[in-house]
Amino acid sequence: MASSEEAITATDYIQHHLQNLTYGKLPAGYERLQSDGSASILEKDTWTFAHSAEEAKDMGFMALHVDTLGWSIVLGLVFSIVFSKAAKAATMKPPKGLLSFVELIVEGVNNVVKDTFHHKSRFVGPMALTIFCWVFLMNLMDLIPVDWLPKAAATISGDPHLFFKVVPTTDPNATMGMAISIFLLMIFFSCREKGVLGFIKELTCHPFFAPKRLWYLNLFLVPINTLLETVSLLAKPVSLGLRLFGNLYAGEVIFILIALTFGVNLVIGLLGGVMQWVWAVFHILVILIQAFVFMVLSIVYMGMAFDSHDEQH
C-alpha cells in the first residue's frame, strides 16, 4: 500500500493505519475538505464518517469507532459459536479435535480461577473464560499483515483512503471499556457481599484506624484513608485498560514500521520480511500473555470484591 497508492509519506502511511473508522456528528457550518482539495460547508448537523483525523476529533465524545465495534462483535460471536458448538458436542468419551482444544482452554482457565479466587461464585469462572478468549482473539488480529484487511475494505468500499483498523485492543476505547466493566462489576459484588456500608467502611477505615480509646484520631485518619483507598480503587481500571492498550498498540506500530520497508527496494523488502517474521513469532507471546494478564487481574479484582477486611478495634 505504501508504494502502490499515489505518493504518500511514511508519516501519512503510519497515521492512516492508526486512525479508526469514525462515525459521528459534525455541526452545521463545519468546513469539510474533499479528496480533490476543495472545501464544502455543511448546511445542517450531519452524521457521517470522518474523512480525516481532525474530523474524527471534532466529532467529540459521542463518535463511534465502527471498526473497533465491528471486529469486537464479530470476534465475540466467533468465540460464542465455537464454544457453543463444542459444548453441544461434549460427551463422556475422550475429546478429539475442536472439543479437545476447547476443553484444554476451559480446564486451564478453571485452574487459574481456583488458584486465584477463593470464594464461591458461578459468575467468575465464565467471566474469566470469556475475557481470556475474547481478548486473545482481538489480540490475534495483530498477526494479520497490516495492509491486507484495510486494502480489502478500501477496495470493497471504493474509497482508497478509507480508515480501517482491525485490532480492537489497539483502541483505548475498547480496552478501557472492558476495564471499566470489570471495575463496575467489582463495585457491584463488593456492595452485594459487604453491603453499601461495608464498602464505605473499607474506603474510610483502612489502612489506618485508631483504637476506641483514641477515637478522636480517626477525625484525621478517615480523610487520609478515603484519599488513599479512592486513588487505589480508581487506579485499577486505568492500569488494567492502559496496560493492554499500550502493549498491543506498540506491537501494531512496529508491524507498520516494518511494512514501510517493503516499498523501499528488493533488498530492504526482503530484510523487512525477515523482521516481520521474527517480530510475529515474538508477538505471539505478547498476545497470549496480555490476554492472560488481563484475565488474571480481573479475577484478582473480583476476589478483592468478595474479601472482607473487617477488623476488631
Reported as a single tens digit per residue, the pLDDT across 58-77 is 999 999 999 999 999 999 99
Helices 218-260 + 266-306 axis angle, to 10: 160
pLDDT at 313: 41
Find the mean pLDDT for residues 169-186: 97
Statement: residue 2 has pLDDT above 90: no
- Residues carrying an active site annotation: 239, 243, 247
Measured between alpha carbons, how far is 275 from 284 in angstroms, rounded to an integer? 14
pLDDT at 5: 43
**Whole-Å CA distances, 281 to 41, 113, 269, 275, 290:** 49, 28, 18, 10, 15
CA angle (79 as vertex; 104, 151 as ends), nearest 5? 125
pLDDT at 309: 63
pLDDT at 136: 98
Note the Cα 259 to chain centre separation in Å.
24
Number of residues that make up the chain: 313
Helices 97-116 + 66-89 axis angle, to 10: 100
Helices 266-306 + 124-140 axis angle, to 10: 170
Statement: residue 312 has pLDDT above 50: no
pLDDT at 131: 97
Q: In terms of pLDDT, which residue wins out, 312 or 109?
A: 109
pLDDT at 7: 61
Whether residue 177 contacts residue 203, with contact meaning beta carbons closer than 8 Å, is answered with: no
What are residue 309's phi and psi, to 5 degrees?
Answer: -115, 30
Find the mean pLDDT for residues 110-117: 96
Map residue 245 onto helix, strand or coil: helix
Amino acid identity at 80? S
Statement: residue 137 has pLDDT above 80: yes
Is 72 buried (19+), middle (13-18) or exposed (0-12) by CB count in 10 A? buried
pLDDT at 217: 78
Using alpha carbons, select from 26, 34, 72, 279 the residue that is nearest to residue 175: 72
Mean per-residue pLDDT of the chain: 90
Q: How confident is the model at residue 161 (pLDDT cuts 50, 70, 90)?
A: confident
Q: In terms of pLDDT, which residue wins out, 24 or 205?
A: 24
pLDDT by residue (tens digit) across 192-241?
999 999 999 988 888 887 777 777 777 888 889 899 999 999 999 999 99
pLDDT at 150: 94
pLDDT at 3: 40
Find the mean pLDDT for residues 253-265: 91
- Please report where in the chains the cell 486494502 appears, as a residue: 151
Find the mean pLDDT for residues 72-95: 89
**Whole-Å CA distances, 154 to 54, 262, 273, 280:** 20, 20, 24, 25
Find the mean pLDDT for residues 267-279: 92
Map residue 180 onto helix, strand or coil: helix
pLDDT at 208: 80
Statement: residue 55 has pLDDT above 80: yes
Amino acid identity at 297? L
Map residue 101 onto helix, strand or coil: helix
Using alpha carbons, select from 82, 76, 94, 91 the residue that is nearest to residue 132: 76
Whether residue 178 contacts residue 291, with contact meaning beta carbons closer than 8 Å, is answered with: no
pLDDT at 130: 97
